[in-house]
Structure 1
Amino acid sequence: MEYRELFDACKENAISGRYVTLDDILPLLKQHSSHGMVKSVGNSVNGLPLLSYKVGSGPRRILLWSQMHGNETTATKALFDVFNFLCGKSEPARKLLSEFTFCFVPMLNPDGAKAYTRENAAGIDLNRDFHELTQPESRALVELFEEFEPEICYNLHDQRTIFGVGDTGRPATISFLSPAFNHNCDMNACRQKAVEVIVGMNAVLQALIPGQVGRFDDSFNINCVGDNFQFRGIPTVLIEAGHYPSDYQREQTRFYFFVSLLSGFQYLSENDIVANAIDDYLNIPQNKTVFFDFVYRNVNVNYDGIEKNTNFAAQYKEELVGKTIGFDAYIVQVGNLENHYGHIEINADGRIFRNDAHNFPEIGQKANFYLGNDVKIVNGLKKM
């Protein structure tokens, strides 16, 4: 399958960027209601509808949900690209719809989406609420899960730019996990099925972004939805959208997410699940927190008349301004940055650091400063 050509044809151009709310997707779901069934499965804390979209007539059932964390929007965009693919006339789409019934929840946390927060309107991280089920959004997903009786689930998220693929120095653009079902992180038939699908998706992605796929930490937590559903005996695949170079709007990563979803569906369609993929799964390097958005190396700093050479790093903070996400860079670490990388790295070549405050980098300062007399840094970036 030519994924780039397919994505360009199916991309839903009505939504883009990092800020996606219920208001953005409601007219799109209305359009797709002629191809499948849009249904309310509950309400958020603030009374907004939790909507599902069911499409397909096959006996095998796949349940997917996105934006459990309101500020994680890449998967939501990719889902609407998938919707466009499924409602097309292509033979691969018709085949999937005849084999599977898909149930999508494209926005589980509409209150958090509107406020651009991880938590819901009650300040609860929904992905830590699937044992106690204190929140209406959590209860709605569990009720849908029990009613729909899926063969496999997809838990769709974004991860921060800090994650790299092991010690390779490459960003984790896409990360996968087959969650644990117990504290020993054992493998059983349920978990192995998710592993097998992940290995299939990874094989496709390695041809597109070699070395930029990571494996998420599998520490068991019964409060997390993937761990909880896997504990209940239903294979659950976690996909995390991460950083692609210079892609802070996650539009390139959106493409790789689209590829992950379609290649996973194709793998389920074309392959009998067997239990021989565990080594291939474990060979996907585990994510490590080794990246900053900016790293400045070999900077000279004047501390009370004594000149020292140091390194420091800055990280973007995402802030909602109106209906736009702003990226403001702040200094977050000073000193030893061994085994860490910057998505953007600047070598000061011994230039003196100066700013409008104390003329040395401090954690929490905005990343606006000079390096020597010829390099000006504004919001983390070198001003040309």
Structure 2
Amino acid sequence: MKNIILEKLQNWYTSNFENRINGRRILFEDIKPLLNNVSTKFKKEIIGSSENGTSIYKLTIGTGSKKILIWSQMHGNESTGTKAMFDLFKYLEDEELSSEILKECTIQFIPLLNPDGAVKFTRENANDIDLNRDAVNILAKESKILRAVLDEFNPKFCFNLHDQRSIFNVEGTENPATISFLAPSINEERTLTTERKETMSVIVAMNSLLQKVIPNHIGRYTDEFYPTATGDNFQKLGHNTILIEAGHYENDYERESTRKFNFYALVKGLHFISSTNTYNDYKEYFNIPNNDKLFLDIIYKNLKIEENGEEKIKDVGIQYKFKVENNKLEKYKCIEKVGNLSEYHSYNVINGEKLNFNELKLSNS
């Protein structure tokens, strides 16, 4: 299946995606029944526990020499990759579709690396450590687990699955950045090493598929070097690390459409890696537009705002944020921008001439 037949993949997904998990907040208790019933094609093992004692699993499948490591939810509130990963498990159970991948590759998965952060719906773990900034000090138990797997398995490719805020749009368009990719840098100079070029080549392949499904909704995340970041350090160690950032799609605050596109990207990436030994087509990576920060969930136009006793007309931009209350995830409005928002984009633009700005502010508490 070197050349994925897109229509066939879309039809397969409609009938076979993992419909037992959904929504924005994915906890260990949501995935445990799925782990208990995963196909015997997978080798399943508990490789440690979180700071609060929740089990962390590793699954292995395939017999090939090309080693690939995929993990999700190192930020507890970024669950789209976890949902896409369980969709991918079902795909890999289908021998007709996945035989090439499993013959050429050995893949290890760590679903839900940060279960304590998932409970709190925060980026950080139980000790308020951002695992994605803990690659040098390696203080967190979860960081130690990930690094131990990396060192023992020695993968050629890694997929680091994240979510990004809805404020990101594709530069030069009005579209949210539904999926963004990154080939991390290994230094401040952003040197194009052989490994980075290989990483970029895989991203080019994934982008080529997604452009057929959601054209102009794919962005490129900044490759600014972060000295303590996981992707940058794994890339520096010689493990080609592909970051997938799942973002917003129209009317998709549960990120159920985005999980599908995330899944498509993973499938394409695995098929590409399994079917090639040359990674020369990396230059198209730089033609993927950058992420910009010009998308808002709601834009209220022409609100009357009192400042220093004087009435002014301004636009107000809203981003939705999420918090856990009574063990349920609640969405609430947060004022992101105030002023002339003519350069910003939104699917929801509201004439605010008759609205009360003070009441709008109260809704953000």
Q: What TM-score comes out, normalization by structure 1 length?
A: 0.89
Instruction: Give the C-alpha shift of residue 301 in structure 1.
Output: 4.3
Greater length-normalized contact order (CA 8 Å, ≥ 6 residues apart): 2
Instruction: Give the C-alpha shift of residue 172 in structure 1.
Output: 0.2
When the two chains are superposed, the root-mean-square deviation of aligned CA atoms in Å is: 1.8
What amino acid sits opposite 1:78 in the alignment? A
Seen in structure 2, the aligned counterparts of structure 1 residues 347 and 234 have a Cα distance that, compared at 3 Å, is same
Deviation by residue 1:340-372 (Cα, 9 ceiling, x = unmatched): 222311134xx23326xx57x65xx3169xxxx
Aligned twin of 1:381: none
Give 1:185's match in structure 2, choosing from 182, 187, 190. Answer: 190
Q: Is the 8 A contact 1:165 1:212 kept in 2?
A: yes
Q: How does 1:258-337 map to 2 (within 5 A)?
A: 258-278=263-283, 280-301=284-305, 307-337=311-341
Using the TM superposition, name which of 159-168 and 328-337 deviates more: 328-337
Seen in structure 2, the aligned counterparts of structure 1 residues 367 and 344 have a Cα distance that, compared at 3 Å, is farther
| Cα distance in 2 for residues equivalent to 1:172 and 1:247 | 13
User: What SS does structure 1 have at the residue aligned with 2:312?
Assistant: strand
Q: Does 1:231 align with 2:236?
A: yes
Seen in structure 2, the aligned counterparts of structure 1 residues 186 and 46 have a Cα distance that, compared at 3 Å, is same
Q: Is the 8 A contact 2:58 2:109 kept in 1?
A: yes
Give 2:203's match in structure 1, choosing from 192, 198, 202. Answer: 198
Aligned twin of 1:375: none
Q: Does 1:29 align with 2:31?
A: no
| Cα distance in 2 for residues equivalent to 1:68 and 1:149 | 19
User: What SS does structure 2 have at the residue aligned with 1:346?
Assistant: strand
Tell me how many residue pairs correspond in the alignment.
359
| Cα distance in 2 for residues equivalent to 1:254 and 1:324 | 21
Aligned twin of 1:83: 89
Q: Does 1:366 align with 2:363?
A: yes
| Cα distance in 1 for residues equivalent to 2:326 and 2:311 | 43
User: What SS does structure 1 have at the residue aligned with 2:125?
Assistant: coil
Aligned twin of 1:48: 54
| Cα distance in 2 for residues equivalent to 1:209 and 1:85 | 21
Q: Does 1:9 align with 2:15?
A: yes
Aligned twin of 2:350: 346
Instruction: Give the C-alpha shift of residue 34 in structure 1.
Output: 1.8
Give 2:68's match in structure 1, choosing from 56, 62, 72. Answer: 62
Give 1:240's match in structure 2, choosing from 230, 233, 245. Answer: 245
Deviation by residue 1:53-99 (Cα, 9 ceiling, x = unmatched): 11111121110000000010000001000001111232x21221111
Seen in structure 2, the aligned counterparts of structure 1 residues 303 and 189 have a Cα distance that, compared at 3 Å, is closer
Using the TM superposition, name which of 335-344 and 245-254 deviates more: 335-344
What amino acid sits opposite 1:109 in the alignment? N
| Cα distance in 1 for residues equivalent to 2:347 and 2:170 | 13
Seen in structure 2, the aligned counterparts of structure 1 residues 322 and 272 have a Cα distance that, compared at 3 Å, is same
Seen in structure 2, the aligned counterparts of structure 1 residues 114 and 33 have a Cα distance that, compared at 3 Å, is farther
Instruction: Give the C-alpha shift of residue 304 in structure 1.
Output: 8.1
Instruction: Give the C-alpha shift of residue 323 in structure 1.
Output: 4.4
| Cα distance in 2 for residues equivalent to 1:330 and 1:153 | 35
| Cα distance in 2 for residues equivalent to 1:234 and 1:302 | 55
Deviation by residue 1:245-296 (Cα, 9 ceiling, x = unmatched): 1100000001100000001111112233233422x10111111111121101
Instruction: Give the C-alpha shift of residue 142 in structure 1.
Output: 0.7
Q: Is the 8 A contact 2:39 2:93 kept in 1?
A: no
User: What SS does structure 1 have at the residue aligned with 2:347?
Assistant: strand
Q: Is the 8 A contact 2:156 2:238 kept in 1?
A: no
Aligned twin of 2:178: 173
Using the TM superposition, name which of 295-304 and 191-200 deviates more: 295-304
What amino acid sits opposite 2:317 in the alignment? A
Instruction: Give the C-alpha shift of residue 321 in structure 1.
Output: 3.0
| Cα distance in 1 for residues equivalent to 2:309 and 2:57 | 63
What amino acid sits opposite 1:147 in the alignment? E
Seen in structure 2, the aligned counterparts of structure 1 residues 276 and 80 have a Cα distance that, compared at 3 Å, is closer
Give unmatched runs, 5+ long, in structure 1: 369-384
Aligned twin of 2:220: 215
Instruction: Give the C-alpha shift of residue 335 in structure 1.
Output: 1.3
User: What SS does structure 2 have at the residue aligned with 1:32?
Assistant: coil
| Cα distance in 1 for residues equivalent to 2:236 and 2:309 | 61
Seen in structure 2, the aligned counterparts of structure 1 residues 211 and 126 have a Cα distance that, compared at 3 Å, is same
Using the TM superposition, name which of 326-335 and 142-151 deviates more: 326-335
| Cα distance in 1 for residues equivalent to 2:73 and 2:306 | 46
Instruction: Give the C-alpha shift of residue 179 in structure 1.
Output: 0.3
User: What SS does structure 2 have at the residue aligned with 1:281?
Assistant: helix
Between the two proteins, what is the percent identity of the paired residues?
40
Give unmatched runs, 5+ long, in structure 2: none
| Cα distance in 2 for residues equivalent to 1:145 and 1:126 | 15
| Cα distance in 2 for residues equivalent to 1:96 and 1:115 | 36
User: What SS does structure 1 have at the residue aligned with 2:37?
Assistant: helix
